[in-house]
Amino acid sequence: MKKLYAILTLLVALSLALTACGPKQTPTPVATEPPTVAPTEPPTVAPTEPPAPAFKVGQVTDLGGIDDKSFNASAWKGAEDAIADLGVEAKYLESQQQSDYAKNIQQYLDEKTDLVITIGFLLGVDTAKAAIANPDQKFAIVDYTYPDCWPGAEVGVQCGTDKDLTNVRGLAFQTDQAAFMAGYLAAGMTKTGKVATYGGLPIPTVTIFMKGFEAGVKYYNKQKGTTVEVLGWNTASGEGTFTNNFESTDDGRRLAESFMQEGADIILPVAGQVGLGSAAVCKETGSCLVIGVDADWVETASEYASVTLTSVLKKIDVAVYSTIKDATEGKFTGGTVVYTIADGGVDIAPFHEFDDDVSAELKAELEAIKAALIDGSLTVDGVLAE
């Protein structure tokens, strides 16, 4: 009986164990609706505008090259400043001979250049012809104004036009005012009583310097009772000394040597890089000083700082930069813009290494002359007419 009871107890235990280990009942899943999600629109991307093309400027140099330390170089500096400040594109084409002028201008027209700037009096006719043929093209020209014809002159040959050109801005400079001050300074500094000047070509933008220089010396003589003589130019006769080029430094050397033989010890060369030849002679001999033109030669030709008394400044870079700025801002106008001593467009440079040599009295006199030129109580023509 006990054995049977034990067997039954064991069977019950085994039954309970099997039940505990058996598969559990899987709950019946309850169906649910998925959440409703609103469709999303793709993000809107604003269309990108292509960058506006850069404003293009092209310069055509006169003879003498871009690095003439004078008017070509000064004009290019104005373009370089515009590149840095205004973000324009600019380049230059050098004219090796006068027949290059029209060809270089045409190249810029073919390239759809926004503003074409020509440098120098000799480009006057070719610039006018291009401007007349392309009335929607903007031009500027340094050292020239329109209309430029005179009675009997043939339009397109001896002169550019007998009418105003509304698409050309002529950039002119009253350099005789600054040259007047340089002449007065030279007369006050000479030790020999003789000073000299010469030009590259007998054209108005050259002779205006020589005329002002002579007037300054004449005014000094009148004020001081001296007899300082000017070699190389005479306004009354219209005769002077010219190299007939703006490139040959050998010609500059030759003329400096000739003037020194005549007794001149201060020379004003108005001939682009030709004048550097004169500066070289002065430096080598120690027998003369030069007065630079257009730019401050102590800055542009520093190798001759020891013989550069001052420079007659014609701020072509400022005029070119202002013209480019106006064109980029839609303010470009044709006609003539004249820069004078009153607006700082012309002046004389600092005396640099000669500052201690120029007396306080002479400096004060130059300041008084500048003020008189500005207010009109003193004029170059008035002095020369006396």
According to the 3-state scheme, what is the secondary structure of 55-95? CEEEEECCCCCCCCCCHHHHHHHHHHHHHHHHCCEEEEECC
d(CA 106, CA 102): 6
Report the CATH fold assignment for 175-313+356-385.
Rossmann fold (3.40.50)
Say yes or no to pLDDT of 15 above 50: no
Q: Which residues of 136-169 are buried (b: 16+ CB within 10 A; e: fewer)?
A: ebbbbbbbbbbebbeeeeebeeebbbeeebebbb
- For residues 257-263, give the mean pLDDT: 98
Q: What is the dihedral of CA 328, 331, 332, 334, to 10 degrees?
A: 180
The pLDDT mean for the chain works out to: 90
238 vs 45 pLDDT, higher one: 238
**Beta-bridge partners for 80:** none
Q: Which residue has the tokens 């480019």?
A: 324
**Which tens digit of pLDDT belongs to each residue from 109-128?**
999 999 999 999 999 999 99
The encoded tokens of residue 138 equal 């903007």
CA gap 95, 21 in Å, rounded: 107
Strand positions, DSSP E, 301-341 = 308-314, 335-339
Confidence tier at 68 by pLDDT (50, 70, 90) = confident
**pLDDT band with cut points at 50, 70 and 90 for residue 43:** low
Could you tell me the pTM of the whole model? 0.83
Contact 184, 367 (CB under 8 A): no
pLDDT in tens, 301-319: 999 999 999 999 999 999 9
Fold match, 56-173 / 175-313+356-385: yes
- Reference 170, options 127, 130, 203, 135; nearest CA is 127
Q: Is the pLDDT of residue 345 over 70?
A: yes
Say if residue 42 is preceded by a cis peptide, omega within 30 of 0: no
CA distance between the termini of the chain: 166
Q: What are φ and ψ of residue 357, in 5° steps?
A: -85, -25
Determine the Cα–Cα distance for residues 342 and 329; give it in Å rounded to an integer: 26
Domain boundaries, given as residue ranges, for the chain: 56-173, 175-313+356-385
The enclosing H or E element of 218 equals: helix 204-224
Secondary structure in 3-state letters for 250-308: HHHHHHHHHHHHCCCCEEEEECCCHHHHHHHHHHHHCCCEEEEEECCHHHHCHHHHHHE
Point out which residues pair with 312 in neighbouring strands. 293, 348
Quick one: which of 316, 358, 361, 352 has its CA closest to 337? Answer: 316
**What pLDDT score was predicted for residue 71?**
86
Residue 376 has pLDDT above 80, yes or no: yes
Question: What pLDDT was estimated at residue 64?
Answer: 86
Indicate if the alpha-carbon torsion angle 372, 230, 273, 297 is positive or negative: negative
pLDDT at 154: 95
| Range 56-173 has CATH code 3.40.50.970 | no
Instruction: Decide if 145 contacts 165 (C-beta within 8 A).
Output: no
Segment among 25-39, 59-73, 109-123 with least mean pLDDT: 25-39
